[in-house]
């Protein structure tokens, strides 16, 4: 149990376009979903936390208007990178938790490359 999927696994887009990444909890209801960014050989950096039906809480330094997060249901959250630039290229990972916020289940990640 506790499976989280992400789609797409890899995406290449042109500079200036927008990209949407989906995160789904397949076999449980995710009260909270988290979005992380990971640079090569580095740890995970929390970007934002979202609760179903509420606005996401962004970490300091993360642009809300650039990284749009929607958590419309208990099984789906989306991250939209708007007007992407090469510096947005990264590995984006989502995680989901149920009643226990600290027990996070991670998706397989999405590799975004902006050309």
Partner 1 sequence: AQSVTQLDSQVPVFEEAPVELRCNYSSSVSVYLFWYVQYPNQGLQLLLKYLSGSTLVKGINGFEAEFNKSQTSFHLRKPSVHISDTAEYFCAVSLKTSYDKVIFGPGTSLSVIP
Q: Does 75 bind partner 1 (CB under 8 A)?
A: no
Q: Which is nearer to partner 1, 30 or 107 (CB)?
A: 107
Candidates 18, 85, 101, 115: give the one binding partner 1 (CB under 8 A).
Answer: 101
Q: Does 107 bind partner 1 (CB under 8 A)?
A: yes
* CA nearest neighbour of 81 among 69, 97, 93, 96: 69
Structure tokens at 40: 């090569």
Q: Does 11 bind partner 1 (CB under 8 A)?
A: no
Q: How many CB atoms lie within 10 A of CB 58?
A: 17
Residues with Cβ within 8 Å of 98's Cβ and at least 6 positions away in sequence, in order, are 28, 29, 30, 31
| Site for partner 1, rule CB under 8 A | 4, 6, 34, 41-44, 46, 49, 91, 93, 95, 101-109, 111
């Amino acid at each position: 149990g506790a499976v989280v999927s992400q789609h797409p696994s890899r995406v290449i887009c042109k500079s200036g376009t927008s990209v949407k990444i989906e995160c789904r909890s397949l076999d449980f209801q995710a009260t909270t979903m988290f979005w992380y960014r990971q640079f090569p050989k580095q740890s995970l950096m929390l970007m934002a936390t979202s609760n179903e039906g509420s606005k996401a809480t962004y970490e300091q330094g993360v642009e809300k208007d650039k990284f749009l997060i929607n958590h419309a249901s208990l099984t789906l959250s989306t991250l939209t990178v708007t007007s992407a630039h090469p510096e947005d290229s990264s590995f984006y990972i989502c995680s989901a938790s149920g009643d226990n916020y600290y027990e996070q289940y991670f998706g397989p990640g999405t590799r975004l490359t902006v050309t």
